[in-house]
Amino acid sequence: MMAKPFFRTVYDVPREEYLAPGHGLCAGCTAGTIVKLLLKVAGPNTIVVNATGCVEVSTTPFPYTSWKVPWIHVAFENAAAVASGIESALKALKAKGVLDPSKKINIIALAGDGGTYDIGFQALSGMLERGHKVMYVLYDNEAYMNTGIQRSGGTPVYAWTTTTPVGKILKGKIQQKKPIAEIVAAHRIPYVATANPGYFADMMNKFKKGLEVDGPSFVHVIQPCTTGWKFDPRYGIVLARLATETGLWINWEQEEGQFRVTVTVPRRKHVRHYFELQGRFSHLTPEEIEAIQKEVDLEADRINKLVGRTVIGPLVE
Amino acid sequence: MGWKELPRGGSILEPGNSESRYTGDWRTFKPVIKQDKCTRCLRCWIVCPEPAIYIIDKPYATSSGRQFKFSVEVNYDYCKGCGMCVEECEPKAIDWVEEEK
Amino acid sequence: MESVLKITWKRLPLSSNFAIAQAVKDSDVDVVSAYPITPQTTVVERISEFIANGELKAEMIHVESEHSAMSAAIGASAFGARAFTATASQGLELMHELLHIASGLRLPIVMSVAARALSAPISIWGDYTDVMNARDTSWVTLIASTAQEAYDSIIQAYKIAEDPRVFLPVMVAYDGYAMSHTYEPVYVSEKADAFKDYIPKNPQWYTLNPDKPVTIGSIASPDWYYEFKYQQVVAMKNAYDVVKEADEEYGKRYERKYGIIEEDGVEGSDITFVTYGGIFGTLKESVEELRKKGEKIGLARIRLFRPFPSEDIAKIAEKTKALVVLDRAITYGVGISGPVSREIISSLYSRGIERNVYSFIIGIGQRTVTEKDMAAIYEKTKEMLASHEKQKESVYWGVRE
């Protein structure tokens, strides 16, 4: 039996804000949405370790901070290691009676795709293996947006970035996106999930579960980037939802080894609806779009077989 | 401020003090919530990335006779005018209005 | 007069590595994060034993790299815990980015460094290139020359680091192998946590506390960055007095102290040897032999490398006629390539003190330096002095042509 989800409607969402306005994220940056909702779930007894990235620089230009919870930035590649140190300190000070052992403090590592797939991967894997009680939240905008849209291990195939330009011979990124959440799941930690701000309750429930498990957890959130993906800022959440509606982004969780798709898609939209809205894919030919569609179809089949029933439905529009 | 007055190492001691930085002047268009048409579904409040949309404890009675205990309002000091709330609004209760220069 | 906790000492045969582990236990450290590297490894092995036996109540983080070792120490210290790490050579290099961040965030972390040569070619043996490479990272740096001093210095290091006038991390360096793996008799406290009067726990630095949220590690624009760096300049300057006070108080309480520069027979000497680390032992013995032959030789050992004790070295220079500086590291591409030699020359020049300073490079990658070498270096210096030769390039002692 599964427990009832904690967040079901907007009325379950606390009013308190722990991300203050006045930050410098781009207009329509969905990272703002994600972080704001993350902090509503976590509440005030929370410490955030932020890897270098858009969120870090935009929210803490001295002398201004948008954080109402304790926050630390150390470097790009080590959010997981810094969080490990904080968690160990918390344990040690509780064991020594310096802190009340019943006091619960959430420790969240927050990093982008560069800080997770690439430069931060070793520290992340170490933290997971050692079993620190830290929730690692990856906001994945699929490129190094903070330095100006360079490709990362999280950039999808064919996407234009400033280092995978659309030229006469090479057109966008050649390689596939690294399946980071599956790699994390292979560490056999208590909780791994993928989430989408377009499905806020599902995402917030995942943050809540991630904070509650006894050990490391990982929540991988898709984060449409108006600047890097080249779309009108008003479509951030529309695009996030389209990623799921087309089957390109599947919202799943793995809890104590049990894999589950949390947002089922009864009728799947064609991937072209997702690509059409984004400048980074504007060079795609109809043949290339069809090739991607085929891959998504195969992935839907694989997921359905894995789950044992149809959770990602047929292509209908 | 000189080095003696500044907190060590660039630490910031006042939580959430970015509230004193107004980002409203980034805007070229602004969302205007029509309270009468608003169903209080709060989707705009959920998606606003600033946050610049707030739930205000201000009762409101619509022309069709619906009673609400609260209103949803945009804080224009911070709204950057991204328009995500306009896209999210199912009852089309948010107008998208060009800012006057 | 404050009460002095009486410590019962026990005398143990310990390597400097084991002495340091003992000091970590006796400092009641809360979090240790470290990665194995020769010749540091036995420090953390011994600490792990203390934790496994319940002799030290601490969390040990077996990190996957030195980069994460320092990162985790930063996290732990930022939470208000007393943090420790230990490393050497390549490990210190891998941490390098974080060395600047630990000091920039003003966190009182203590680290021991078993000084070792750097790759390439790989060498697991001792010299001080790793420590000297970290000299601009704003870490207070002590260099010990005996296992006893290594023990005492770790305890003093917490006193220094956690002083609000400083709030900087402290590094305690000592010779890889020659000290890290050599046993000496060391007096250690009979009981763990015996130094709580000397180093009480009362974190005053900015910490991550949900009851008082602070943002640590903001981004500083050109309008602000310089002032934060100047704060570190001042903290480093303050560290000089704090190091001195910490050592004097330690001496008063526990009857062992070391000073900033250890000196012997400098007054009225013709030539004074200056060095650092374990090689000082060899030097002392050979100088005793030379003195028996009537040579007037002074001895000075630099214990505090950062902040550099320019005033103290100037006073030493004024009491002697010439200085021979034995460096165990090379800074490439300059004539006088011994890092400490260069510091001394600059200290004397800026004070208008005219003395010949002769720079010798020795013990690179643990090339053997015997008492005979010391005597020969002395003879060579006398020749240079007699011929009024100005030294433009360091002598690379013992390198094969």
Convert the pLDDT of each residue in C35-60 to its tens digit. Answer: 999 999 999 999 999 999 999 999 99
Q: State the Rg of chain B over Cα.
A: 18
C contacts of A44 (beta carbons < 8 Å) = 210, 213
- Could you give the CA distance from residue C394 to residue C133 in angstroms, rounded to a whole number? 18
What CATH number corresponds to the domain at position A297?
3.40.50.970
Length of chain B: 101
* Residue A314 within any structural domain of the chain: no
Residues recorded for chain A: 317
Out of C254, C284, C319, a domain closes at C254
- Evaluate if residue B81 carries a pLDDT over 60: yes
Residues C374 and C354 in one domain: yes
Does residue A2 fall inside a structural domain? no
pLDDT at C279 over 80: yes
Instruction: Name the domain count of chain B.
Output: 1
The answer to whether residue B50 neighbours chain A at the CB level (below 8 Å) is yes
For CA atoms C142, C144, C149, C150, the dihedral sign is positive
- In chain C, what residues touch A77 (CB-CB under 8 Å)? 67
Total of domains in chain A: 1
Q: Which among C85, C153, C92, C133 is positioned nearest to C328, based on CA atoms?
A: C133
Q: How far is CA A172 from the centre of its chain?
A: 23
Is B12 within 8 Å of C215 when comparing Cβ atoms?
yes
For the stretch C284-326, pLDDT in tens is 999 999 999 999 999 999 999 999 999 999 999 999 999 999 9
pLDDT at A317: 78
**Residues 8 through 37 of chain B touching chain C, CB cutoff 8 Å:** 8-13, 15
Separation in Å, CA of B80 to nearest CA in chain A: 5
Q: List strand residue ranges (DSSP E) for C26-68, in order.
A: 31-34, 59-62
Specify if C284 maps to a domain: yes
In chain C, the number of structural domains is 2
Please, are residues C73 and C41 in contact by the beta-carbon 8 Å criterion?
A: no
The continuous run of DSSP H or E covering A286 comes out as: helix A286-307
- Domain membership of residue C1 (yes or no) is no
Is there a contact between B18 and B27 (Cβ–Cβ < 8 Å)?
no
Kindly indicate the confidence band of residue C5, based on its pLDDT and cuts at 50, 70 and 90. low
Q: How far is C103 from chain B (nearest CA, A)?
A: 9
Residue of B1, B11, B15 lying closest to C206 (CB–CB):
B11
Domain that holds residue C247: 9-254
The pair of structure tokens assigned to C96 is 């390098």
Q: Is residue A1 assigned to a domain?
A: no
In a domain, A148, yes or no: yes
Which structural domain, as residue segments, surrounds residue B47?
A: 30-98
> Mean pLDDT across the stretch A95-119?
98
C-beta atoms of B13 and C214 within 8 A: yes
Let me know if residue A4 belongs to a domain.
no
B35 domain residue, yes or no:
yes
Two structure tokens written together for A312: 């990602």
CATH of the domain at B60: 3.30.70.3270
Question: Does residue B2 fall inside a structural domain?
Answer: no
- What is the pairing mode between strands B53-56 and C59-62? unpaired
Q: Is residue A36 part of a domain?
A: yes
The residue range of the domain holding A164 is 10-307
Domain membership of residue A49 (yes or no) is: yes
Confirm whether A154 is domain-assigned: yes
User: Using an 8 Å Cβ cutoff, are A210 and A131 in contact?
Assistant: no
**C227's tokens:** 């002032």
Does a structural domain hold residue B21?
Answer: no
Question: What's the rounded Cα separation, in Å, for the pair C29 and C109?
Answer: 10
Both tokens of residue C365? 């990658």
Cβ atoms within 10 Å, residue B29: 16
Same domain, C238 and C328: no
Residue C1 reports pLDDT greater than 60: no
One-character DSSP codes across C63-83: -SSHHHHHHHHHHHHHTT--E
Residue B16 has its nearest CB partner, among A32, A67, A197, at: A67
Tell me if B46 is assigned to some domain: yes
pLDDT, mean of residues C93-117: 98
Closest chain B residue to A29 measured between Cα atoms?
B49
**Domain stops at, among C254, C280, C308:** C254
Band of residue A1 on the pLDDT scale cut at 50, 70, 90: very low
Is residue C96 helix, strand or coil?
helix
Q: Which residues of C touch A75 (CB under 8 A)?
A: 71, 97-98, 101
Res B61: pLDDT: 95
Give the pLDDT confidence score for residue C193 in this predicted structure: 73
Which tokens is B49 given? Answer: 């990335």
Cα separation of A80 and C72, whole Å? 9
**Percent of residues, chain C, with pLDDT higher than 70:** 99
ipTM above 0.90, yes or no: yes
Residue B73 DSSP SS3: strand
Are C245 and C280 in a shared domain?
A: no
The answer to whether the Cβ–Cβ distance between B11 and C216 falls below 8 Å is: yes
Contact C141, C134 (CB under 8 A): yes
Q: What is the CATH number of the domain that holds C343?
A: 3.40.50.920
Residue B16 lies in a domain: no
Q: Which residues of A touch C218 (CB under 8 A)?
A: 60-63, 65, 73
Considering only CB atoms, A93 lies closest to which of C81, C101, C105, namely C81
Residues C108 and C203 in one domain: yes
How close are the terminal C-alpha atoms of chain C, in Å?
Answer: 62
CB A22 to CB B21 under 8 A? yes
Confidence of residue C191 (pLDDT cuts 50, 70, 90): confident
* Residue B23 within a domain: no
pLDDT of C214-249, one tens digit each?
999 999 999 999 999 999 999 999 999 999 999 999
Domain annotation covers residue C53: yes
